[in-house]
Structures are given as C-alpha cells and as structure tokens.
Amino acid sequence: MQLNQYIDHTILKPTVLISDIEKVCAEAIEYQFAAVCIPPNFIKKAKEYTAGSTVKVATVIGFPFGYSAVEAKLAEIVLALVDGVDELDIVINISAIKNNDWAYLANEINHLMPVIKQNLKTVKIIIESGILTDDEIIKCCQLYGAAGIDYLKTSTGYAEKGASVAAVQLFRKHLPADVQIKASGGIRDYAFAKELVDAGATRLGCSAGVAIVKGAAASGDGY
C-alpha cells in the first residue's frame, strides 16, 4: 500500500505562518503526498512552493463550522479559483442537518457545484460525521452522492469526534461507487490510517502525515 498517495498533508490552525506553509509543501513533495490542505489566504504561496511537483493544493470553504451563507461560500470558492486552487474541501451547513432542513442543504450544494465543475476542480464535501446520527449520515450520502461530488469527507477535525472506521464503512455502503471517501480528524498513526483505508477511504486528511508514512515504512509496508 502506497499510503503516502492517500494523504492530504494538512495545516489549518488559525496561527499558521508562511514558514509553516513552506514546510508542509516541502514535506508533501518529499513524501509524494496527494495534496496539501491549507487556509485560503495561502493558496498562492502553496502553488509557488509546489510548482513542478504532482502535489495538489487544496483549501477549505466555510471552515470549520459550515454555517456561513451560501453566497459567502460561493465568494470564497471564486476567490480560491482565482488564486489557482486544485481542490476544495467545503463544510456544508451542519446546523441545517441537525434541524432536518434538507431543502436548504440541497439549495446550498446546487448553488456551489456548477462553478466548481465548470472549472474542473475536485470537490470534497465535509459533513462532520462524528456528531451526526447514522440516519443523518445516510441522508447526506444520498444527497451529496446525487450532486456529483468527488469525495465525501468525514470531519473538519474541530468537532468533538473525528474520523472513525464505522463512519467510513457507512459512507461506502450508501455512496455511489464513483464517489470517494476522505477520512480526517484524529488520524495520527499508521495503524489507524491503514484501518480507514481498508474500510474504504481513498484520501486521509491529517497533519501527522510524515509520522504516518514513517510508521508505514517501519512496519515494512513501504510508505
């Protein structure tokens, strides 16, 4: 298993420095990670630091709570596209899920998807599975699976519970086959990362990417 190719090397803390962005980009190139996931204001710098490599630049939209207006999320997406982003990790309105307002959520995704797809970018939808019921997760799989997204993502890493094997398995059972799964939140070691991949995750969002691939190497499983 080439675990490095599953990793979105992530730094999203509010105190992030330009030197931090340079470091994660250098690490992503060295270990051949799939992408770096960085705050929107650092997209241009990350594109500079990863130029000439296969590493994609991802950013977050509506992060971390998802309750900003649809128009605000759309503006964030447009600005990220202007700056050259490759992948967009969008937090949908978690409050709308908890209030059973699926019409709002359908309207939200229907307004966001066209501009992303017109620009041929990858879209990952974050639903914060750790604070949802199984029924809410299944409804999300149905709604976003039908919307044409590329990935459904478990977590922001800011809720009280992050990724779980059970959530990934539930995603895989209820998503269309062509929608992939990104697990994120609390992935700090190789053993857990491998469990998530074995359960069906094809991307892993984590700040501990280097430690994880070193753990993979130590286990004899390559990266």
Q: Nearest Cα to 105, choosing from 58, 73, 150?
A: 73
Residue range 68-125, pLDDT digits in tens: 999 999 999 999 999 999 999 999 999 999 999 999 999 999 999 999 999 999 999 9
Cα 36 to Cα 21: distance, rounded to the nearest angstrom: 9
pTM to 2 decimals? Answer: 0.95
Mean pLDDT of the chain: 96
| Domain of residue 149, CATH code | 3.20.20.70
In a domain, 223, yes or no: no
Task: Report the distance separating Cα 34 and Cα 15, nearest Å.
Answer: 24
- Rounded to 5°, angle at Cα 110 from 109 and 111: 90
The alpha carbon of residue 173 and the mean position of all alpha carbons in its chain are separated, in whole angstroms, by: 19
Q: Is residue 27 part of a domain?
A: yes
pLDDT, residue 77, reads: 98
Report yes or no on 94 lying in a domain.
yes
Q: Which domain holds residue 153?
A: 3-218
What is the tally of structural domains in the chain? 1
Catalytically active residues are: 89, 153, 182
Q: What pLDDT shows up at residue 219? A: 67
Quote the pLDDT of residue 220. Answer: 62
Element at 65 (helix H, strand E): none
